[in-house]
Chain A
Amino acid sequence: MMNRFRAAACVLLVAVSPPLLALAQRGGDRPAPRAAAPPPAPRAAAPAPAPRAAAPVNPGGFNLQRDIAPRAAAPAPAPRAAAPRATAPVARSGAPGRGGGTVAYGHPSFTANTVGGPARDRFKGPVIRNARASGGNYGWNHGVAWQPAPIYWGGGFWGSFAIASLGGYGAYGDYEDAQDQLEYPSYEVSPDTPGAQLLADYNLQQTPCGPPNLVVIWGPDNSVICANPNDQVGPGDYEVDPETFTLISASPSP
Chain B
Amino acid sequence: MSGSGIKAVLALVVAAVVWAAVPARAEGVTRIQQADGKTEVYRHVTIRVRGQTLVLSSSDRKGVLEVTSDACTYLAGLKRCLPYRTVYYDRGTAHTVVLEHGTVYTNVTDGPVQLPHSADRLGPHEVLVLLHTMRGTYLSVTGSVDQIK
Interface residues, chain A, with chain B CB atoms under 8 Å away: 4-5, 8, 11-12, 14-16, 18-19, 21-22, 25-27, 29-36, 38-43, 46-49, 51-52, 55, 58-64, 66-68, 96-103, 105, 107, 141-142, 144, 146-152, 155-157, 160, 162, 164-165, 192-194
A67–B39 touching, CB < 8 Å: no
How distant is the Cα of A31 from the Cα of B47 in the complex, in angstroms?
A: 16
Best-surrounded residue of B24, B62, B74, B84 (most CB of chain A within 10 A): B84
Residues of B within 8 A of A15 (CB): 9, 12-13, 16
B43–A11 touching, CB < 8 Å: no
A-B contact pairs, 30 of them (CB 8 A): A18-B17, A19-B16, A19-B19, A25-B24, A29-B58, A33-B40, A39-B29, A41-B33, A41-B138, A42-B103, A43-B132, A46-B37, A47-B136, A48-B36, A48-B37, A51-B36, A60-B58, A61-B63, A61-B90, A62-B32, A64-B63, A66-B136, A67-B137, A68-B88, A68-B95, A97-B99, A151-B84, A152-B71, A160-B82, A165-B100
Distance of A53 from chain B, by nearest CB (Å): 11
| B109: interface (CB < 8 Å) | no
Contact of B101 among A14, A67, A144, A152 (CB under 8 A): A152
Given contacts A41-B33, A157-B71, A62 and B91 within 8 Å (CB-CB) = no
Nearest 8 A-B pairs (CB), nearest first?
A: A61-B63, A60-B62, A156-B71, A29-B60, A162-B101, A18-B20, A68-B95, A61-B62
B9–A11 touching, CB < 8 Å: yes
Interface range, B side:
35 or more
| B102: interface (CB < 8 Å) | yes
Chain B contacts with A in 3-52, Cβ cutoff 8 A: 5-6, 9-10, 12-13, 16-17, 19-20, 24, 29-37, 39-44
A40–B98 touching, CB < 8 Å: no
| B128: interface (CB < 8 Å) | yes
Given known contacts A151-B99, A193-B73, what 12 new A-B pairs fall within 8 Å (CB)? A12-B9, A22-B20, A27-B59, A31-B40, A39-B140, A49-B35, A64-B65, A66-B35, A67-B98, A100-B98, A151-B84, A156-B70
Contact of B63 among A8, A60, A101, A165 (CB under 8 A): A60
Q: Nearest residue in B to A154 (C-beta to C-beta)?
A: B71
Q: Nearest residue in A to B90 (C-beta to C-beta)?
A: A61
A149–B71 touching, CB < 8 Å: yes
Contact of A61 among B34, B60, B102 (CB under 8 A): B60
B32–A60 touching, CB < 8 Å: no
Contact of A46 among B1, B69, B138 (CB under 8 A): B138
B101–A26 touching, CB < 8 Å: no
How distant is the Cα of A27 from the Cα of B27 in the complex, in angstroms?
A: 11
Residues of B within 8 A of A193 (CB): 73
Residues of B within 8 A of A49 (CB): 35-36, 136
B95–A146 touching, CB < 8 Å: no
How distant is the Cα of A97 from the Cα of B31 in the complex, in angstroms?
A: 22
Residues of A within 8 A of B75 (CB): 192
A39–B33 touching, CB < 8 Å: no
Distance of B34 from chain A, by nearest CB (Å): 6
Q: Nearest residue in B to A66 (C-beta to C-beta)?
A: B135
Distance of A23 from chain B, by nearest CB (Å): 10
A26–B100 touching, CB < 8 Å: no
Contact of A38 among B39, B63, B102 (CB under 8 A): B39
A152–B90 touching, CB < 8 Å: no
